[in-house]
Amino acid sequence: MTPFGTRLRAAMETRGPLCVGIDPHGSLLKDWGLNDDVAGLERFTRTTVEALADRVAVLKPQSAFFERFGSRGIAVLEKAVVEARAAGALVLMDAKRGDIGSTMAAYAATFLDPDSPLFSDALTLSPYLGFGSLRPALDAAAAAGAGVFVLALTSNPEGAEVQRSTVADGRSLAQVMLDHMADENAGAQPLGSVGAVVGATLSDAGVNLSINGPLLAPGIGAQGATPADLPRVFGDAVGDVLPSVSRGVLRYGPDIAGLRSAARRFVDETRVAVGA
């Protein structure tokens, strides 16, 4: 399969730089007039995929909101992944897995093995058991033409005590992780397949974001950031940014036209902000 970074760059150029999260938490189901049960979950997910999978670059289901319903929720997630990919969207599974050895390998088999019913184009990972602990997932992704997005600088206040801490050579731990990502992407064209997660709500990233890979930027919309903030946060790397929006789009459902209009508005505003 063509490497994920190549496919993502093409999708961002043709469909626009936007990732829309599929986050069916209870309050949003209620806002849509749905019950917080498997039937509501299925209706919400099916509507979102129908509205957006044939026009946005990336859809990002948050695995936890499906897992909370057990096997029936996972069945809804499996169907959504298959249908979204069939409609042309890249699927980024937001599961933030991070473990060691055979357990990490099992997570990789779940989401990055083409024979798995949950196979996705990319997976979010947590590196704070050491970047090397991600090797099974990195290798599985490369073998399948998939990608990963590794947490680097998140916008939650608690993250700073780990991510902003420094190592012996004076680099922040976040920078250490970003440097590992840059090594993984060395030589890749037009874009590497190992991305970083950097919050768009940060006042200043304060790190070198030149990793030759995509930069997933959550926080656009309901969390307070706007596309206009992206150049300030990401600087020279802004052209590799994939803004991620969830409630900012989903709150316009269940009306399909409303969901599509909201997504288009974020794409247009992002293109203006980054000069695309």
Instruction: Supply the residues annotated as catalytic.
Output: 96
| Two structure tokens written together for 167 | 């190592």
The H-assigned helical ranges of 87-215 are 101-112, 135-144, 160-163, 173-185
DSSP secondary structure of 246-261: SHHHHTTTT-HHHHHH
User: Do 134 and 125 touch, CB atoms closer than 8 A?
Assistant: yes
SS3 of residue 42 by DSSP: helix
At residue 25, φ and ψ (nearest 5 deg) are -80, 160
User: Do 49 and 85 touch, CB atoms closer than 8 A?
Assistant: no
**Cα–Cα distance for residue pair 101/238, rounded to 1 Å:** 34
Ramachandran assignment for 170, one of left (phi > 0), alpha (psi -120 to 50 degrees), beta (any other): left
Contacts of 159 (CB under 8 A, 6+ apart): 153
Residue with tokens 């060691």: 100
